[in-house]
Chains A and B, each alone.
Chain A
Amino acid sequence: MPAVSKGDGMRGLAVFISDIRNCKSKEAEIKRINKELANIRSKFKGDKALDGYSKKKYVCKLLFIFLLGHDIDFGHMEAVNLLSSNKYTEKQIGYLFISVLVNSNSELIRLINNAIKNDLSSRNPTFMCLALHCIANVGSREMAEAFAGEIPRILVAGDTMDSVKQSAALCLLRLYKTSPDLVLMGEWTSRVVHLLNDQHMGVVTAAISLITCLSQKNPDEFKTCVSLAVSRLSRIVSSASTDLQDYTYYFVPAPWLSCKLLRLLQCYPPPEDGAVKGRLVECLETILNKAQEPPKSKKVQHSNAKNAILFEAIALIIHYDSEPNLLVRACNQLGQFLQHRETNLRYLALESMCTLASSEFSHEAVKTHIETVINALKTERDVSVRQRAADLLYAMCDRSNAKQIVAEMLSYLETADYSIREEMVLKVAILAEKYAVDYSWYVDTILNLIRIAGDYVSEEVWYRVIQIVINRDDVQGYAAKTVFEALQAPACHENMVKVGGYILGEFGNLIAGDPRSSPLVQFNLLHSKFHLCSVPTRALLLSAYIKFINLFPETKSTIQEVLRSDSQIRNSDVELQQRAVEYLKLSSIASTDVLATVLEEMPPFPERESSILAKLKKKKGPGAVSVSELEEGKREGGELNGGGDRGDSSAIAASNASTPSPSADLLGLRSAAPVGSAAPSAGSLLVDVFSESGPAAPAAVNDDGFLSSAAPPPPAAAPAAVVSEDPAPPLPESDELLNKFVCKNNGVLFENQLLQIGIKSEYRQNLGRMYLFYGNKTSVQFVSFSTTVTCPGELQSQLNVQTKPVEPLVEGGAQVQQVINIECLSDFSDAPLLNIKFRYGGALQNLTLKLPVTINKFFQPTEMASHDFFQRWKQLSQPQQESQKIFKASHAMDTEVIKAKLLGLGTALLEKVDPNPENYVCAGVIQTKAQQVGCLLRLEPNAQAQMYRLTLRCSKDTVSKRLCDLLAEQF
């Protein structure tokens, strides 16, 4: 073996690598590798021991071969041997090999862990660092198990070197991220926070990453870090660029640390301490001030570092959302970036502004940049920036600038990228609706939208126009006129034909006076589009024609002619054919009176959540900024939905939704579900045009429900869902109701103006039967009455509940009974949910209660003597088997009442067991199908303090806890 001079490295390795690089083909490479592997195998096999250098060389070669993508199945042992070497390079290669190639071979893991342990306990900082890096790189569960306790100790020990501390912090962070359950909080946590005060900036930077991660999970434990972070931040911010020599990056002091500090602060609300807060505000102001200073260097790194801090600071300001001054300043700063040369900066500025626009303090400030943003939308080269600009426009829109913004978005739409068109269309539609001052503008906008981007206009958008036109008398004439004009274009989009057909069919008479739009002209115009349309549109047009017959009797013969033609009456499409035949008969047989009734104008639509908005939400996913932003925008009031004189009352309607107001809140955002807030049903036969919940309804009916009064609607569409069909969340008082029944089996479960629910129940062993009595307190019958009992979550496996269905009709003043059979499979703590739905005067009522089935219902009383009792009491002495509560009496401490309650609980009340006669002692066994749980109870009243002490010991810990919780509410 030649003596290796320093820096020469491993010659054999270099030769091998250059051989591989020179290989002409894959085959040649594989051959070379096979040869080398054979060589290494013979060396490792060799009887004479290898020296450290050659071991290191061969392990390195193996590593290189592995990184080329070949399997390595030997050499692990040699690598582990290298760990115990005293030479840095050999140890380093050993660790490298293990971090890359470790597998869960139990024997080796033990050896490796041993070597790591040795290195960790050595005093040599480089060895400690190597070991820590290895743990962090591997990050496996086994490693975490072995070292999760050790590393925090190293981290906070006073005599640890700075570099080791740095590594330990990052290593701990990695372990926490991979297996958070193994890293236990302890007394070290408070000391970790104080690392923020460490003199060494590297340690602070490493520690802050760890603290940020930990504090996201346990914010309370790390609360103290806020003030420390603020003081650290202020020291950095106020320092001159020469102070932190090693940590100044292109004239910016410690940019990474500053960013991390600001990010840590974003985990917490604004500091309460005035001094700390003042200091922080000062810091933020300084950062904003610095952004105004001329750059100290022309290098891009300088501005990058500076801007990173600035954006992080702005994010913090937005997070706090409490300093109007700062918010406005941040907004102005971002406004400058909007015109910056750097595309990335413009993007970030637009993005941050989107969130700023939602703050009440800075909304106005954001609005001043509207011209710039519109310009960005038009001229930006990068599509992602344009998208952000569109988002921002959407966010900053309010009544004052809605017209401008919508116009700009519409004009942009003509050239917009295909990927964002659909979203843009939705946004335009929503803004137009939300901020419409007059409806003619709204109609114009939407028709324009269909003209420009017809393909991207989804069903919901044009449904919405029709809904609004029908609900607003004042706009119908204008809408008819506009549609008529729009349809005159030689080529119009199918969606336009749909809207046109629908509106002319309804309100064509409003413009029939004008000879230029006489009935026949209208009909001919519509019919000229007929053959270019798809089947659903044709079906809609046919319905429009029959409406024409009603509106304009003079067109009857022409239309009948059309319906009678072979292309209609013998159409291969069943739907079209049926319509043609039926309409033809209807028009020829029915008298004008009947026609007028059947083909009456559509009644106004009920209020509900805007389907467009629902769609946008779906697209963006829940919690997307712009949607929540929009909802917040609602509070500004005075929009279309709460428009004009009715503004105030509808704003209330929107917020609490308890007073149904027929046409106020068209968007109906908040009117989603609360019980009893049913909007007036405008006729239960009305087929809901928007009924997404009725997928079973034939599409054609969905499309043109405006004829629905002619034919009975299909059953699927019948519940003109005014209120959401999903079960409502449980009533807030349902928990209280539940507690009422812990110690009794019969009584009234629930009562309101409409309905009373009585309950009667009996339990035997693990079985129970419950009779529910639903009483109709009104004089009107309840329709489609239905009840369902569900077991949420894991309760499903713990409780078996069977119900018999009830009659769907409950007459006024009548009572129906329902039997529920319950079987307890194992112990449980939740209660099953009872959902009741019915229609009262057409409005859907939906309420959910908790069924009073609690674990104590399955008690079997057990009598026993004093000595037996205490023996068992002692047997159940494990700490988790006991649960104890001390609480204040909420009822009078009457002995008889307490006894009655304890008996009602289902246990046996044992007399003369406790030496203190004041105390109550009970015993019982809970019967479940899976097992029996023995329970012992002791209640010690303290009459003077009006307090009780309740102690429960059960053979199962969850049971004792649940019982304790239940009982504490009873006395």
Chain B
Amino acid sequence: MIGGLFIYNHKGEVLISRVYRDDIGRNAVDAFRVNVIHARQQVRSPVTNIARTSFFHVKRSNIWLAAVTKQNVNAAMVFEFLYKMCDVMTAYFGKISEENIKNNFVLIYELLDEILDFGYPQNSETGALKTFITQQGIKSQHHTKEEQSQITSQVTGQIGWRREGIKYRRNELFLDVLESVNLLMSPQGQVLSAHVSGRVVMKSYLSGMPECKFGMNDKIVIDKQGKGGSADDAGKSELGGSGKQSIAIDDCTFHQCVRLSKFDSERSISFIPPDGEYELMRYRTTKDIILPFRVIPLVREVGRTKLEVKVVIKSNFKPSLLAQKIEVRIPTPLNTSGVQVICMKGKAKYKASENAIVWKIKRMAGMKESQISAEIELLPTNDKKKWARPPISMNFEVPFAPSGLKVRYLKVFEPKLNYSDHDVIKWVRYIGRSGIYETRC
């Protein structure tokens, strides 16, 4: 179990230090600073073992969060907790920055007391926490006496993530499918590895204790229904470029509100949603991924002092859709002494501080193509090492799910209050972003 939790700023100064167990001493704080934050070689592993003590760290901008233990704990659990901790802090005071942490340190200690007990993670549901941990960061909303008195029974009850008696005039529901697509492609255009990791994020403003049911084009469900042939998947090919009907999900995890027993037996996702924003599920797919862009690099070395680079990008989705925030990053050799760039579209610039040419395009429709060419001058060096040619990477945002996932339905039942599924206003949005999207050159 977690023995202690420390938060450092970028200099390695301790901002928050909370020790849960006696086997962690103060010297652990210094050990992490010396061996990880100030390490001569950059420490890449998120788990570091120093003198029989394990340190699990995550970094948020310039802030380091480190969980420490001397025991053999479940590392995945610790990281899940650290991410949750980040979420909770963000929900309370916004961006995790040194200033925010310094301003809210009383609150953070209060939170740490609540979500970890003797190193064991407890309730980390923001919604529930906000009802009883109120600090300046939270506008005190609707805290009547009776609500306060309900806290104990709610937090310890069966449905710890939702309290009773919530009422909205408009029953509304937002559903976002957020995906990031990762790719590594060879210079010849062969896919070396590709996967999509996605999240379904919901924001629900529903009255009472509604029972929800979520359906998507999961291959197993579709195949099972098979001949039953429901009419739910009408208009299936409206989004994305592919007409495929179902997708294969490699693995998925759910929010605690989802009834796992039901998912295991019927593969249906039913739940009583928390109030407000939460992440319903996370999933990963590796098959039949729609790659929104194709990068075609061409690098030619002219003698020892010159390099010619030409890069073509092609968008590969429906012409009616628009990709945004496109950025192509072409690495340059370390001995670059000058660069000339010509591009048809967008803006391109040599950034010496990053050793790369950065090409930005604001918008680009589907089934289009654009190109950039650059001449790079090199300084002869006495270093015999050849340039390693790091891959060209790319960033973008597209309004569809590259995995092909589609929401088939989201049904809401509330037997006690008199509103039906049809009265709920539902919004669905798909966003596909680039993760690590690289092409070798």
A interface, CB within 8 angstroms of B: 24-26, 31-32, 34-35, 37-39, 41-42, 44-45, 69, 71, 73-74, 76, 103, 105, 108
**Which residue from B42, B62, B355, B379 sits with its C-beta under 8 Å from A45?**
B379
B62 to A, closest residue via Cβ:
A25
Contact of B353 with A34 in the complex, beta carbons under 8 Å: yes
B213 at the interface (CB under 8 A from A): no
Do B353 and A32 touch across chains, with their CB atoms under 8 A apart? Answer: yes
- The reply to whether A41 and B382 form a contact with Cβ atoms under 8 Å apart is no
Contact B352 A39 (CB under 8 A): yes
* Interface residue ranges of B307-346 to A (CB < 8 Å): 334-338
Cα-based distance from A312 to B42 in the complex (angstroms): 48
Q: Are A42 and B335 in contact (CB under 8 A)?
A: no
Closest residue to A69 on the B side, CB-wise?
B40
Would you call B377 an interface residue if the criterion is a C-beta within 8 Å of the partner chain's C-beta atoms?
yes
Q: Is the interface of B mostly helix, strand, loop or mixed?
A: loop
Interface membership of B70, Cβ < 8 A? no
Question: Chain A nearest CB: distance from B117 CB in Å?
Answer: 34
Task: Name the CB-closest residue of A to B38.
Answer: A26
Q: How far is the CA of A873 from the CA of B380 in the complex (A)?
A: 60
Instruction: Check A42 against B62 for contact (C-beta < 8 Å).
Output: no
Least CB distance from A68 to B in Å reads 12
Which chain A residue lies CB-closest to B61? A25
**CB contact between A41 and one of B62, B336, B354 (< 8 Å): that residue:** B336
Quick check: B353 and A35 within 8 Å, CB to CB? yes
B337–A42 contact, CB under 8 A?
Answer: yes
Q: Is B383 an interface position by the 8 A CB rule?
A: yes
Tell me if B136 counts as interface (CB < 8 A to partner A): no
Give the distance to chain B from A31, nearest Cβ to Cβ, in Å: 4
Task: Let me know if B381 and A31 touch, CB within 8 A.
Answer: no
In the complex, the answer to whether A74 meets B354 with C-beta atoms within 8 Å is no
Contact, CB under 8 Å: A73 / B383: yes
Known: A45-B338, A45-B377. A34 touches B352 (CB 8 A): yes
**Measured between alpha carbons, how far is A26 from B334 in the docked complex, in Å?**
19
Chain A hits for B383, CB < 8 A? 71, 73-74
Determine which residue in A26, A76, A108 has the highest number of CB atoms from chain B within 10 A of its CB, and name it.
A26
Q: Is the CB of B354 within 8 A of A31?
A: yes
B10 touches A35 (CB 8 A): no
Interface of A is mostly: helix
Closest B residue to A76 using CB positions: B382
Which B residues touch A31, using CB under 8 A? Answer: 353-354
B338 and A42 contact, CB distance less than 8 A: yes
Chain B residues contacting A38 (CB-CB under 8 Å) are: 336-337, 352-353, 355
Residues of A within 8 A of B382 (CB): 73-74, 76, 103, 105, 108
User: Quick one: closest B residue to A45, CB to CB?
Assistant: B337
Report chain A residues within 8 Å CB of B40. 69
CA distance A652 to B95 in the complex (A): 89
Q: What are 18 A-B pairs with beta-carbon distances under 8 A?
A: A24-B10, A25-B62, A31-B353, A34-B352, A34-B353, A37-B352, A38-B336, A38-B337, A39-B352, A41-B337, A41-B379, A42-B337, A45-B337, A73-B381, A73-B382, A74-B383, A76-B382, A105-B382
- Output the least CB separation between B378 and chain A (Å): 8
**B residues with CB within 8 A of A:** 10, 40, 42, 62, 334-338, 352-355, 377, 379-383
Q: Which residue of B lies closest to A33 (CB)?
A: B353
Q: From residue A217, how far is it (CB to closest CB) to chain B in Å? A: 38
Q: List, in ascending order, chain A residues with CB within 8 A of B354's CB.
A: 31, 34
Top-9 shortest CB links A-B: A38-B352, A73-B383, A45-B337, A31-B353, A41-B337, A35-B353, A73-B381, A74-B381, A35-B352
What residues on A are CB-neighbors of B62 within 8 Å? 24-25
**B379 surroundings in chain A (CB, below 8 A):** 41, 44-45, 74
What distance in Å separates the Cβ of A27 from its nearest Cβ neighbour in chain B? 9
Cα(A108)–Cα(B383), bound, Å: 13
B47 to chain A, nearest CB (A): 20
Given the complex of chains A and B, what is the CA–CA distance between A103 and B384 in angstroms? 13
How many pairs, one residue from A and one from B, have CB atoms within 8 Å of each other in the complex? 52
Q: Which residue of B lies closest to A35 (CB)?
A: B353
Give the CA-CA distance A44 to B338 in the complex, in Å.
11
What is the distance, in angstroms, from A47's C-beta to the closest C-beta of chain B?
11
Q: Which B residues lie within 8 Å of A26 (CB)? A: 10, 42
Report Cα–Cα, A74/B379, bound state, in Å.
8
**Bound complex: CA of A38 vs CA of B380, how far in Å?**
13
Minimum Cβ distance to chain B for residue A681 (Å): 54
- The answer to whether A34 and B338 have CB atoms under 8 Å apart is no
B353 touches A44 (CB 8 A): no
What chain A residues lie within 8 Å of B338 (beta carbons)?
42, 45
The answer for the CA separation of A73 and B387 in the assembled complex, in Å, is 13
Chain B residues in 8 Å Cβ range of A24: 10, 62
A34-B352, A38-B337, A45-B379 are known; give 4 further A-B pairs, CB within 8 A.
A42-B338, A45-B377, A73-B334, A74-B379
Q: In the complex, what distance in Å separates the CA atom of A32 from the CA atom of B380?
A: 22
Which among A38, A44, A108 has the highest number of chain B CB atoms within 10 Å? A38
How many Å from the CB of A449 to the closest CB on chain B?
35
Residues from chain A with Cβ under 8 Å of B355 in the complex: 34, 38
Minimum C-beta distance from B67 to chain A (A): 22
Q: Separation in Å of the A98 CB from the closest CB of chain B?
A: 13
Cα–Cα distance between A42 and B376 once the two chains are bound (Å):
11
Residue of B nearest to A24 (CB): B10
| Chain A neighbourhood of B380, CB < 8 A | 74
CB distance from A41 to the nearest CB of B (A): 4
Contact, CB under 8 Å: A73 / B352: no
Q: Distance (Å) between the CB of A809 and the closest chain B CB?
A: 60
**Closest CB in chain A relative to B331 CB, distance in Å:** 12
Are B335's CB and A41's CB within 8 A?
Answer: yes
Contact of A73 among B10, B335, B337 (CB under 8 A): B335
A104 to chain B, nearest CB (A): 11
Q: Which residue of B lies closest to A74 (CB)?
A: B381
In Å, the complex CA distance between A103 and B381 comes to 13
Q: Once the chains are docked, how many angstroms separate the CA of A371 from the CA of B152?
A: 74
CA separation between A32 and B351, bound complex, in Å?
A: 11
| A103, B355: Cα distance in complex, Å | 26
Min Cβ gap B311→A in Å is 20
Contact B353 A25 (CB under 8 A): no
Complex-state Cα separation, A171 to B30, whole angstroms:
43
Q: Cα distance A44–B379 when bound, in Å?
A: 8
The distance in angstroms between the C-alpha atoms of A45 and B355, with both chains bound, is 17
Interchain CA distance A69-B38 in the complex, whole Å = 13
Q: How far is the CB of A798 from chain B (nearest CB, A)?
A: 43
- Within the complex, what minimum Cβ distance (angstroms) separates B299 from chain A? 19
Nearest-neighbor residue (CB-CB) of B350 within chain A: A38
- The chain A residue with its CB closest to the CB of B377 is A45
Whole-angstrom distance between the Cβ of B335 and the nearest chain A Cβ:
6
- Closest residue of chain A to B385 (Cβ to Cβ) is A73
Give A586 to B337 CA distance when docked, in angstroms.
96
CB neighbours (8 Å) of A45 from chain B are 337-338, 377, 379
A38 to B353, CA, bound (A): 8
| Max count, chain A CB within 10 A of own CB: residue among B10, B336, B379 | B379
Please name all residues of chain B whose beta carbon is closer than 8 Å to the beta carbon of A39 when the two chains form the complex.
352
| Residues from chain A with Cβ under 8 Å of B337 in the complex | 38, 41-42, 44-45
CA distance A283 to B80 in the complex (A): 77
Q: Which residue of B lies closest to A39 (CB)?
A: B352
A20 to chain B, nearest CB (A): 12
B335/A25 in contact, CB under 8 A: no
Bound complex: CA A108 to CA B380 (Å): 14
Chain A residue at minimum C-beta to C-beta distance from B339: A38
Nearest CB in chain B: distance from A46 CB, A: 8
B352 and A25 contact, CB distance less than 8 A: no
Q: Which residues of B contact A103 (CB under 8 A)?
A: 382
By beta carbon, the residue of chain B nearest A25 is B10
Q: Whose C-beta in chain B lies nearest to the C-beta of A34?
A: B353
**Please, which residue of chain B has its CB at the minimum distance from the CB of A44?**
B379
Name the residue on A nearest B332 (C-beta).
A38
CA distance A41 to B381 in the complex (A): 10
Nearest-CB distance from B303 to chain A (Å)? 14
- Chain B residues lying within 8 Å of A25, measured Cβ to Cβ, are 10, 62
A74–B382 CA distance with the chains assembled, in angstroms? 6
